[in-house]
Amino acid sequence: MPYVIASRRIVNIADLRREAQRRLPRAVFDYIDGGADAEVTLRENCRAFEQVTFRPRCAVVTAHPDLRVRIIGTDLALPFLLAPVGSSRLFHPDGEAGAARAAGEAGTAYILSTLSGTRVDEVKAASSGPVWYQLYLVGGRDVAMAAIERARTAGCSALVVTIDTPVAGVRERDVRNGAKELSSGAPRTMLPYLPQFLARPRWLARFLLDGGLMNFPNIVLPETGPMPYADVAAALEQSAVCWDDLSWIRARWGGRLIVKGVHTGEDARRAIGEGADAIVVSNHGGRQLDGVAATLRTLPEVVAAVNGATEILLDGGVRRGSDIVKAICLGARAVLIGRSYAYGLGAYGAAGVARAIDILRTDVSRTLRLLGCASIAELNPSYVEAPAHWLSRAQPRSSQLSAT
């Protein structure tokens, strides 16, 4: 039965986060919410948005701002899309298919993680919008090639290759909650960590009815079939994506290619050299290398280095529509949201994803009206002030940015 979400109760993304925390077992909530090590980058991603201020044009009426964007040749109704979030089906049985459906209904794209619990063709069939496939080389090149073919056959129009995961970051909350032990499938190893699930009986009932801990149906090993949950962490470590791999992927995938996990101007240029149609300035939501700069802070450097040669997307710390507007003012074409919709999925299934999208859409629209700007396309650096030291590496475009 679909949830009825009272809009007075769920006013913003923080409310969805609170509901997810209330409804999910600790291990599942912390898997979504946590970051690597001391979680410095996780916090900084959000804080950076607070350091950018607006410069509105007042006495300008823009009744119905135009929120449309065009990314890699695809028209989207909204300036944000749904980032790849692994294991989404653990949060709620609606999982990846439900999130993709909500994205499609809102006129935006969904990016399916390699580490998902639903087959790519099922996810594509569930959505009326674009579905892109995020690729890890888990299992090796042959396994990845088969996944690329399945994504192509399913109708995915872009491949998103994540380059920031040569080894899985340590999320200390996951260690404490027994994430590794819980995925072992061995009852005695799991036992000490099971009480947290008994404390969330509704989640547990839904999880068991959905078949319990699933394999990864998009990582199909030739001998044994879908990769079991317990094997994925070790497999990830043996499958780091290098620049060589990117050339290999480019040669085999004729469609649009997006490189996700760019932190510097140098890597942005390298990705363009490898044929990226777009890049995502991303630190994996602070889940990998702790201590890297907030993505919003890195954005001016990347914009300057790219100098218009490819499209730039950004993710990390986006919790409000005004965050989306700030990122676009500073040079992103659009933004990916991760936790913002994952909290919604965990709290209410697909209805929660739809609510997250709706909150952000309304926020973006109101922010544009308050800025006196008629469309996303008209946003530019003159609508914001960013700290001066963010711009020190951003030479070519720095004259366009007003610094505090």
Ligand X SMILES: Cc1cc2nc3c(=O)[nH]c(=O)nc-3n(C[C@H](O)[C@H](O)[C@H](O)COP(=O)(O)O)c2cc1C
Q: Decide: 341 and 353 in contact? Cβ < 8 Å.
A: yes
Q: Decide: 155 and 74 in contact? Cβ < 8 Å.
A: no
Tell which one of 25, 65, 79, 86 touches ligand X (CB under 6 A): 86
Residue type, 218: N
Query: In the complex, what is the shortest distance from the CB of residue 78 to ligand X, in angstroms, rounded to a whole number?
Result: 15
Nearer CB in complex with ligand X: 84/228:
84
Q: Which stretch binds ligand X (CB under 6 A): 55-63, 174-182, 212-220, 314-322?
A: 314-322
- Structure tokens that stand for 350 in this block: 């697909």
Window 245-304: residues binding ligand X (CB under 6 A): 260, 282, 284-285, 287
Contacts with ligand X by CB under 6 A: the residue count is: 25
Beta pairing class for 256-262 and 225-227:
unpaired
Query: In the complex, what is the shortest distance from the CB of residue 58 to ligand X, in angstroms, rounded to a whole number?
Result: 31
Is residue 229 involved in binding ligand X (CB under 6 A)?
no
Q: Decide: 156 and 128 in contact? Cβ < 8 Å.
A: no
Nearer CB in complex with ligand X: 113/127:
113
Query: In the complex, what is the shortest distance from the CB of residue 400 to ligand X, in angstroms, rounded to a whole number?
Result: 26
- Structure tokens that stand for 388 in this block: 């001066």
Closest C-alpha among 314, 299, 265 to residue 384 = 299
Q: Cβ–Cβ contacts within 10 Å for residue 48, how many?
A: 24
Is residue 83 involved in binding ligand X (CB under 6 A)?
yes
Q: Which helix (H) or strand (E) holds 98?
A: helix 95-105
Is residue 169 involved in binding ligand X (CB under 6 A)?
no
Largest CA distance in the chain: 67
Is residue 26 involved in binding ligand X (CB under 6 A)?
no
Is residue 315 involved in binding ligand X (CB under 6 A)?
yes
Distance CA 107, CA 82 (A): 11
* Owner of token pair 């399913």: 154
Q: Which stretch binds ligand X (CB under 6 A): 64-72, 195-203, 331-339, 368-376?
A: 331-339
* Owner of token pair 């916090």: 43
Query: In the complex, what is the shortest distance from the CB of residue 353 to ligand X, in angstroms, rounded to a whole number?
Result: 13
284 is catalytic: yes
| Residue in 64, 92, 284, 389 annotated catalytic | 284
Nearer CB in complex with ligand X: 156/401:
156
Is residue 316 involved in binding ligand X (CB under 6 A)?
yes
Is residue 134 involved in binding ligand X (CB under 6 A)?
yes
State phi, psi for 71 to the nearest 5 degrees.
-120, 135
Is residue 113 involved in binding ligand X (CB under 6 A)?
yes
Is residue 196 involved in binding ligand X (CB under 6 A)?
no
Residue type, 157: S
Distance CA 114, CA 122 (A): 14
- Structure tokens that stand for 263 in this block: 């932190």
Nearer CB in complex with ligand X: 127/134:
134
Which residues contact ligand X by CB under 6 A?
31-32, 45, 83-86, 113, 115, 134, 162, 260, 282, 284-285, 287, 315-318, 337-340, 342
Q: Which residues are catalytic?
A: 284
